[in-house]
Amino acid sequence: MLLHLGMSGRLTIGRAGTNATPPAHEHLVLETDSGARAGLVDPRRFGMVDLVRTSEEDRHRLLAHLGMEPLSDAMTGPALADLFRGRRSPIKSALLDQKLIAGLGNIYVCEALFRCGIHPERQACTLTKEENAALAEAIPQILEQAIASGGSSLRDYVQADGTKGGFQDLHLVYGREGAPCPNCGAGSPILRMTQSGRSTFFCPTCQK
Ligand SMILES: [Zn+2]
């Protein structure tokens, strides 16, 4: 079963038979023999549910075009260098391109570029071997940290048990426009700019 949460869909997990009044906008409920109940709540209906044979997964229309899995062994400095070769688009846009790397969103790209000291407007093809290696290390670290702390709750995102995620408290630059840079200090506030319609947060001193 393939589940896509869309913009703000979420999965709630509880015990079967405990939910006499289903939550608003719950479109699908699965109950298991062991007594678990999973509900898909999707107020904006951008989500999707489909059944697909495991052997045909890679050819599914929502999966076929996806790029490298960032939490796999494929994520290495040389692999990133290959992806970025000849690519003149800003590194920020390249990292958000799901056809290159699957599953990186705006927050995690901003955080990765800051941690690696890379300016978001740099052309992807100009990254050095060292910078690609640093990114290949930072990206999975940030994703693993975010998963461990339950994700980032900005507006309405909550985890399956209804509690908020805690990764927003670990953001070093995202959403911190005007705050002192956590690396170089009060002299250089975090800036925000817009790239391809999305906010980018960065430190102009630390990110070259
Ligand atoms: Zn700084």
Per-residue pLDDT reduced to its tens digit, 84-118: 999 999 999 999 999 999 989 899 999 999 999 99
Distance 175 CA to ligand 1 centre (A): 15
Distance 21 CA to ligand 1 centre (A): 50
Per DSSP, the three-state class of 124 is helix
For the chain, the maximum distance between any two Cα atoms, rounded to a whole number of angstroms, is 59
Per DSSP, the three-state class of 138 is helix
- Reported residue count of the chain is 208
Distance 144 CA to ligand 1 centre (A): 24
If one counts every other C-beta atom within 10 angstroms of the C-beta of residue 65, the result is 9
Tokens 């309405």: give the residue: 156
Distance 68 CA to ligand 1 centre (A): 30
Percent of residues in the chain assigned helix, strand, coil, to nearest 5: 30, 20, 50
7 close to 26: Cβ distance less than 8 angstroms: no
Distance 185 CA to ligand 1 centre (A): 6
- Would you state the structure tokens that stand for residue 14, as one six-digit string? 């509880």
Task: Give CA–CA dist 138/130, Å, rounded.
Answer: 12
117 close to 208: Cβ distance less than 8 angstroms: yes
Distance 206 CA to ligand 1 centre (A): 4
Burial of 110: CB neighbours in 10 Å, binned 0-12, 13-18, 19+: buried
Domains and CATH numbers, the chain: 2-59 (no CATH), 77-202 (1.10.8.50)
Distance 88 CA to ligand 1 centre (A): 25
165 close to 150: Cβ distance less than 8 angstroms: yes
User: Residue 129: pLDDT above 90?
Assistant: yes
Distance 164 CA to ligand 1 centre (A): 29
Distance 182 CA to ligand 1 centre (A): 7
Locate all alpha helices (DSSP H) within the chain, ordered by sequence.
Answer: 77-84, 91-96, 106-116, 129-148
Distance 194 CA to ligand 1 centre (A): 19
User: Residue 199: pLDDT above 90?
Assistant: yes
Residues with CB under 5 A from ligand 1 (ion): 181, 183-184, 188, 203, 205-206
Per-residue pLDDT reduced to its tens digit, 134-190: 999 999 999 998 888 877 666 566 666 667 766 677 789 999 999 999 999 877 899
The pTM for the full model equals 0.81
